[in-house]
Amino acid sequence: MSTAEQIRQLSRTEMAARLARDIPDGWYVNLGLGLPTLIPDYIPEGREVVFHSENGVLGMGPLPPKDAVDTWLVNATKQNITLLKGASLFHHADSFGMIRGGHLDLCVLGAYEVAENGDIANWATNENDAIPAVGGAMDLCSGSRRLWVLMEHTTKEGAPRIVRRCSYPLTAAGVVKRVYTNLAALEVTPDGFTVLDMAPGLSFESLQARTEAKLHRQA
């Protein structure tokens, strides 16, 4: 296995930028909480990508300057936002109709675990005392035309999160198409995970050692 010094893991912003490179011009995209919210800053110049917010917005813009906040505009995390030219507002049933109806080209979410069969766990842990809360996670996972996950490759303690089968409660079964981590970009295929690319200095064997699921080289 390579030493940590030789591997240059992607930073959080580099992870967002890596994923953003794969979003083509013209896509309608929903971004989940956490890491995915960094993506809009890294959409390559010249591409027009429309961001959706589950609470009824298409054409969400950047956070507003402090002196120009419209408090009637919030995103899914209930932060104040701006609207771009061409934006539209709609009610919740239409918003989730867009999601469930497969109208969004892409949804990018964070996760606790992704399994080689495309299962995703990102809404609940196995702790029994937490008050359950799901929000729009299941709708987004089941409904989007493509689900990509942006997440750290392992836990802080080094435990794998790219796994054979999820140990946490599922958000949806068999839906993840790609996973982008600080170590690699992976495609979910009928045979399991195929490695699209890896962080500089990382070998296939070293990546496999940090991954519970079996990895496949690109044909």
Catalytic site residue from 14, 54, 113, 205 = 54
CA distance 16 to 6: 22
Smallest distance from the beta carbon of 134 to other proteins, in angstroms?
A: 5
Q: Which residues neighbour 204 within 8 Å (Cβ) at sequence distance 6 or greater? A: 195, 198, 215, 217
**Closest to other proteins by CB, 107 or 202:** 107
- For residue 175, which of 112, 115, 135 has the smallest C-alpha distance? 115
Question: Which positions lie near other proteins, rule CB under 8 A?
Answer: 53-57, 69-74, 78-80, 89-93, 95-97, 99-100, 124, 131-139, 142-143, 169-173
Least distance from other proteins to the Cβ atom of residue 98, Å: 10
* Exposure class string for 110-137: b at 16+ Cβ within 10 A, else e: bbbbbbbbbbbbbbbeeeeeeeeeeebb
Give yes or no: 54 in active site: yes
Least distance (Å) between residue 160 CB and other proteins: 22
Residue 35 backbone zone (phi > 0: left; psi -120 to 50: alpha; other: beta): alpha
**Residues belonging to the active site:** 54
